[in-house]
């Protein structure tokens, strides 16, 4: 399997320097209650900086995995979700979570950001709205100006590169998104970087490949006999599909916290942009080895579908991770899907 080995340009990181340019600030509340229940105001700055505090906008698959790792390392972590059911589930797991409504500015959520040192944005754009938080950009900017926030990262997607005809692309490759969501992703990237610059903090964009991990992988799809989603069916016939294990996304995020940079974009993918049918074939083999005879019981059309498609180069790309390795010094835990899937099945008990 040919892998992409383009080298990104070396970037010499410099210590974080805050932007102290004078600004005319909008009037904002001088106190509030955060998701953790502690109060913050202008007189409590020393208390606020005593510990690292991460706020995750969008406690989805990546957000939850990252939150758990940070909690294990002693961070204070808060975040948002969009349903009461999910909020209750996350609270049971020990997370402090606020409900988020994309249609209204949430002063409680915006004010909570001021008590945190780090912000991870993991919410997708919405058609007709764009980025749910940036639609209230001026309010958000006024709230965060002079806050304790030091680091901001936005999780984007490699879909912003568009149709590349199988080319090998790095972060300097021209973006040419072909669908509405990818276009909105690109707009959100710029919006969050501009916001970070305006309030004088570090801002980065992480363009993620196809995300997989425990509970969300080819192994899980086979075992659960889940039907393929529309997007999965579209990817079935591709010759190259860039992907990344959730643990390696977290590695890159933590590396960027410790290595100051500003307005940088990183492709977060593994070394092997293998076709989906190859990945499913390997996953099936793993399941058959661990639970002999199980595959005979799985007889759904969805199981067969990944192996009957034609290949095409339209919209494909081999995404380079050279900049991530060079500037963030990330050594992938799972450089190929084989390592990632093996780790997933090794952790599974017999689900039958």
Per-residue pLDDT reduced to its tens digit, 268-319: 999 999 998 899 999 999 999 998 877 665 544 344 444 434 444 445 789 9
- For helices 337-346 and 276-290, the axis angle rounded to 10 degrees is 30
The more confident residue out of 110 and 284 is 284
DSSP symbol at 126: B
What's the pLDDT band for 260 if we cut at 50, 70, 90?
Answer: confident
Element (H, E) at 230: helix 230-235
Could you tell me the CA-to-CA distances from 139 to 97, 105, 110, 142 in Å, in that order?
Answer: 21, 8, 9, 5
Burial of 346 (0-12, 13-18, 19+ CB in 10 A): exposed
Instruction: Report helix, strand and coil shares of the chain as percent, to nearest 5.
Output: 40, 20, 45
pLDDT higher for 144 or 103?
Answer: 144
Asked whether the whole model's pTM tops 0.85, one would answer: no
State how beta strands 39-41 and 31-33 pair: antiparallel
CA pseudo-torsion sign 69, 72, 77, 79: positive
What is the β-pairing status of strands 264-268 and 243-245? unpaired
Cα–chain center distance at 294? 34
pLDDT-derived band at 240, boundaries 50, 70, 90 = confident
> In the prediction, which pLDDT does 223 show?
87
Q: What is the pLDDT, as a whole number, of residue 102?
A: 78
Question: Averaged over 214-242, what is the pLDDT?
Answer: 74
257/348 Cα distance (integer angstroms): 32
* b/e 296-310 (16+ beta carbons within 10 angstroms → b): eeeeeeebebbeeee
Candidates 320, 307, 339, 308; CA nearest to 217 is 339
Minimum mean pLDDT range among 113-127, 231-245, 269-283, 303-317: 303-317
Q: Look over the chain and give the mean of its residue pLDDT values, rounded to a whole number.
A: 80
Q: pLDDT per residue over 1-36, tens digit each?
A: 444 443 333 333 333 332 333 333 333 333 233 333
User: Cβ neighbours of residue 59 under 8 Å, at least 6 residues apart?
Assistant: 67, 79, 80, 81, 86, 90, 95, 97, 122
Token pair 């972590």 is at which residue?
Answer: 77
pLDDT at 33: 32
Give the model's confidence band at 347: pLDDT under 50 very low, under 70 low, under 90 confident, else very high: very high
**φ/ψ of residue 157, rounded to 5:** -145, 150
From CA 197, how far away is CA 186, in angstroms rounded?
17
Question: pLDDT tens, 39-97?
Answer: 454 334 434 444 899 999 999 999 999 999 999 999 999 999 999 999 999 988 888 89
Residues 6+ apart with CB under 8 A from 337: 212, 218, 243, 270, 272, 274, 279, 282
């Amino acid at each position: 399997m040919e892998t992409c080995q383009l080298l990104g340009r070396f970037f010499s990181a410099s210590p974080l320097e805050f932007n102290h340019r004078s600004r005319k600030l909008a009037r904002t509340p001088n106190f509030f209650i955060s998701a953790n229940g502690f109060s913050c105001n202008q007189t409590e700055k020393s208390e606020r900086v005593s510990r690292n505090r991460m706020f995750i906008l969008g406690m989805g698959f990546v957000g939850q995995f990252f939150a758990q790792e940070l909690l294990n390392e002693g961070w204070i972590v808060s975040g948002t979700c969009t349903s009461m059911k999910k909020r209750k589930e996350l609270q049971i797991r020990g997370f402090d979570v606020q409900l988020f409504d994309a249609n209204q500015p949430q002063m409680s959520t915006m004010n909570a950001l001021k008590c945190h040192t780090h912000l991870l944005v993991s919410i997708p754009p919405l058609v007709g709205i764009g980025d749910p938080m940036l639609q209230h950009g001026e309010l958000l900017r006024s709230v965060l100006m002079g806050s304790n926030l030091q680091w901001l990262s936005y999780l984007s997607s490699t879909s912003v590169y568009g149709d590349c005809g199988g080319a090998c692309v790095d972060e300097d490759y021209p973006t040419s998104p072909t669908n509405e969501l990818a276009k909105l992703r690109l707009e959100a990237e710029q919006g969050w970087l501009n916001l970070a610059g305006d309030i004088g903090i570090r801002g980065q964009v992480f363009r993620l490949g196809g995300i997989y991990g425990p509970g969300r992988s080819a192994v899980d799809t086979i075992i659960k006999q889940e039907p393929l989603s529309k997007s999965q069916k579209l990817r079935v016939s591709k010759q190259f599909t860039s992907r990344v294990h959730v643990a390696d996304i977290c590695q890159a995020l933590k590396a960027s916290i410790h290595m100051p940079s500003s307005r940088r974009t990183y492709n977060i993918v593994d070394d092997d942009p293998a076709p989906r049918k190859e990945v499913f074939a390997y996953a099936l083999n793993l399941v058959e080895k661990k639970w002999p005879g199980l595959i005979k019981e799985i007889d759904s059309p969805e199981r067969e579908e990944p192996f009957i498609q034609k290949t095409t180069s339209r919209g494909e790309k081999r995404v380079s991770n050279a900049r991530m390795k060079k500037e963030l010094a990330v050594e992938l835990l799972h450089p190929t899907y084989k390592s990632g899937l093996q780790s997933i099945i090794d952790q599974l008990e017999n689900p039958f």
